[in-house]
Amino acid sequence: MKVAIRNNQKKFKVTKELRDLCRAAVGAALEYMDFEFGKKAEISLMFTNDEEIRELNREHRNIDRATDVLSFPLLEYDEEGNILEECKEFTPNGELFLGDIVISLERAAAQAEEYGHSFEREVGFLTVHSMLHLFGYDHMTPEDEEEMFGYQEDILKEMGLLR
């Protein structure tokens, strides 16, 4: 598994521990979901600020406000949850590229304070949440939300990232 991490903001220090936490969250999501390519997956993760994530949100979703995380999945799935063959893109090292995750560290810090838990827990949560979007899950209906949020809580518990 490869997680390419890029820091595109200056307000928050991106420590080795924060990078390791994100890699652990990606790995935990891959393992929990029993993803068929598991250790042969690649994800791009970028840390940014509210201004840049607002621009990306406006550009890609037509929503003109900052958000906490954006997911850009490269894979599409059939009704049974199998990856469509024409969507599979492999790196030169043979890893399946799942997509991109963009996290606003400004928004993560504000939400951690608002919810009364650590900054690390919030960044871990956002990473797991975004991974589930890369797997094709969403929360547009109450049923989908219950399923997706159940998975993310299970993964966070396994990681010890409790509120």
Local confidence pLDDT in tens for the 163 residues of the chain: 999 999 999 999 999 999 999 999 999 999 999 998 878 999 999 999 999 999 999 999 999 999 999 999 999 988 888 899 998 989 888 999 999 999 999 999 999 999 999 999 999 999 999 999 999 999 999 999 999 999 999 999 999 998 7
For residue 99, give Cα distances in angstroms to 6, 13, 124, 150. Answer: 14, 24, 17, 22
Q: pTM of this prediction?
A: 0.95
d(CA 72, CA 134): 7
